[in-house]
């Protein structure tokens, strides 16, 4: 793809303002619920005495962890909390007809995370394979709707996992975006998609990756993954007693790189450039690239399970257009409108979406013939 096919950063600046101005609410959203913790610490805090807070956050990053489970309500209180949360974030399967009713006359655009959404969370990041049934469901969805995979993985890795050609892919939390060679659904004013807003950080990311490999090699179970525009330090297989020392190792490396920031996902610490770019910005960029930035007849749907997906959920909530679906078995603070419990339910939702589209097209054909 030639250089003139790259959408410039300046073209993205007005996306959010234009989208909000040209859209109308699809759902009566309640006010967003506030988060109790910030998503990352500043470099000053990394150099201070906040290690304990980070380790506590690491312990709570997965509800299956003993500490996180102990913090959850039990007995009747747990039932009440779960019920209250489901009222706020009902199952997208149970509310499927309502969702489809709201989409009438609108173009659905699908966005999905990969790990924990299309594939299960596993101990070995390199073994997070999606099932053949899930791949078929995603392939069918992409036949009828513009579809994008937005992942923290590097672009090449997520493409190799999914192995579908007709999709848009956004790797490294949206910092590496690529569209299909022959798009199915682009509108006339759509732009060719190839975008890397953090390309200047590549040498720095490579250096940090090498430094972290060396620094963390004394911690059994630690996995350092180069995701091109970010570095992931997986601690899922690290003994909890070593989490403090692992965080200290990461902190010591980051002290030398003030242009990078630390964020946290599910059993993973992630080092990313400080640019104002995330999965929410990637969603807006892709809508703009597809020609839907100023459209009122578009309904973006974003499905994800991770803290980093909250940026995309918030964008949709702020736009008052489309909705987010959180994949989680446990109540948690989220800007998503609906919920699904696990990847198998994501597959069921995608299958129902395709069936609904096929029936709608068949009904429309009958009306035209009549």
Query: Would residue 80 count as lying in a domain?
Result: no
Report residue 136's pLDDT band, with 50, 70 and 90 as the boundaries.
very high
- What pLDDT, on a 0 to 100 scale, did the predictor assign at position 266? 84
Here the tokens at position 334 are 């989220």
Q: In terms of residue numbers, what domain contains 334?
A: 106-197+277-368
Name the nearest CA neighbour of 138 among 173, 111, 120: 111
Query: Would residue 45 count as lying in a domain?
Result: no
- What pLDDT, on a 0 to 100 scale, did the predictor assign at position 350? 98
Are both 184 and 204 inside the same structural domain? no
**Domain closes at, from 232, 255, 273:** 273
Are both 124 and 262 inside the same structural domain? no
Are both 163 and 298 inside the same structural domain? yes
Domain count, the chain: 2
Share of the chain above pLDDT 90, in %: 65
Are both 110 and 192 inside the same structural domain? yes
Give yes or no for residue 128 having a pLDDT over 60.
yes
Please report which helix (H) or strand (E) contains residue 232, including its range.
Answer: strand 231-234
Query: Would residue 68 count as lying in a domain?
Result: no
Is 278 in the active site? no
- What pLDDT, on a 0 to 100 scale, did the predictor assign at position 187? 60
- The CA–CA distances, whole Å, from 141 to 148, 293, 306, 346 equal 10, 21, 22, 12
Distance CA 251, CA 261 (A): 10
- What pLDDT, on a 0 to 100 scale, did the predictor assign at position 82? 86
- What pLDDT, on a 0 to 100 scale, did the predictor assign at position 184? 72
Q: Do residues 270 and 230 lie in contact, with contact meaning Cβ atoms separated by under 8 Å? A: yes
Query: Would residue 354 count as lying in a domain?
Result: yes
Are both 146 and 292 inside the same structural domain? yes
Give yes or no for residue 114 having a pLDDT over 60.
yes
- Burial of 71-91, coded b for 16+ CB within 10 Å and e otherwise, reads eeeeeeeeeeeeeebeeebee
Query: Would residue 310 count as lying in a domain?
Result: yes
More confidently predicted of 6 and 286? 286
Name the nearest CA neighbour of 135 among 149, 113, 152, 118: 118
- 330-361 pLDDT tens trace: 999 999 999 999 999 999 999 999 999 999 98
Query: Would residue 67 count as lying in a domain?
Result: no
- 225-262 pLDDT tens trace: 999 999 999 999 999 999 999 999 999 999 999 999 99
Are both 191 and 292 inside the same structural domain? yes
Are both 186 and 232 inside the same structural domain? no
Q: What is the CATH number of the domain that holds 236?
A: 3.30.70.1020
φ, ψ dihedrals at 281, nearest 5°: -65, -35
**Domain closes at, from 214, 245, 273:** 273
- What pLDDT, on a 0 to 100 scale, did the predictor assign at position 183? 72
Are both 301 and 335 inside the same structural domain? yes
Are both 311 and 176 inside the same structural domain? yes
Q: What is the pTM of this model?
A: 0.79
DSSP state of 119: B
Give yes or no for residue 17 having a pLDDT over 50.
no
Query: Would residue 22 count as lying in a domain?
Result: no
Distance CA 21, CA 318 (A): 11
Are both 235 and 223 inside the same structural domain? yes
Are both 170 and 281 inside the same structural domain? yes
Report residue 19's pLDDT band, with 50, 70 and 90 as the boundaries.
very low
**Domain closes at, from 245, 273, 301:** 273
Are both 228 and 263 inside the same structural domain? yes
Catalytic residue among 80, 113, 166, 348: 113
Q: What is the CATH number of the domain that holds 321?
A: 3.40.50.1000
Report residue 4's pLDDT band, with 50, 70 and 90 as the boundaries.
very low
């Amino acid at each position: 793809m030639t250089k003139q096919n790259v959408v410039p950063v300046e073209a993205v600046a007005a996306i959010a303002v234009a989208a909000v101005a040209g859209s109308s609410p699809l759902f009566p959203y309640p006010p967003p619920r506030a988060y109790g913790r910030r998503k990352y610490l500043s470099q000053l805090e990394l150099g201070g005495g906040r290690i304990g807070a980070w380790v506590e956050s690491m312990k709570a990053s997965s509800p299956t962890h003993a500490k996180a489970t102990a913090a959850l309500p039990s007995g009747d209180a747990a039932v009440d909390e779960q019920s209250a949360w489901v009222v706020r974030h009902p199952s997208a399967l149970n509310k499927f007809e309502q969702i489809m009713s709201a989409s009438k006359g609108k173009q659905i655009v699908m966005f999905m995370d990969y790990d924990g959404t299309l594939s299960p969370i596993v101990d070995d990041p390199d073994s997070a394979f999606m099932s053949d049934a899930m791949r078929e469901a995603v392939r069918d969805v992409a036949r009828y709707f513009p579809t994008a995979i937005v992942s923290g993985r590097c672009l090449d890795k997520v493409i190799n996992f999914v192995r579908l050609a007709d999709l848009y892919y956004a790797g490294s939390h949206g910092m590496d975006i690529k569209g299909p060679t022959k798009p199915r659904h682009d509108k006339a004013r759509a732009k060719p998609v190839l975008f890397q807003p953090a390309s200047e950080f590549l040498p720095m990311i490579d250096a940090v990756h090498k430094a972290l490999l060396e620094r963390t090699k004394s911690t059994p179970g630690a996995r350092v993954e180069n995701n091109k525009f970010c570095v992931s330090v997986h601690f899922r297989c690290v003994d909890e007693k070593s989490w403090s020392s692992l965080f200290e190792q990461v902190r010591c490396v980051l002290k030398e790189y003030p242009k990078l920031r630390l964020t946290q996902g599910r059993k993973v610490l992630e080092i990313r450039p400080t640019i104002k770019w995330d999965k929410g910005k990637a969603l807006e960029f892709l809508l703009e690239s597809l020609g839907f930035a100023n459209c009122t007849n578009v309904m973006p749907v974003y499905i994800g399970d991770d803290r980093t997906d909250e940026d995309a959920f918030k964008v949709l909530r702020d736009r008052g257009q489309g909705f987010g679906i959180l994949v989680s078995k446990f109540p948690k603070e989220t800007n998503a409108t609906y919920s699904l419990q696990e990847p198998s339910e994501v597959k069921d939702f995608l299958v129902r979406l395709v069936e609904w589209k096929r029936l709608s097209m068949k009904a429309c054909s009958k009306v035209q013939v009549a």
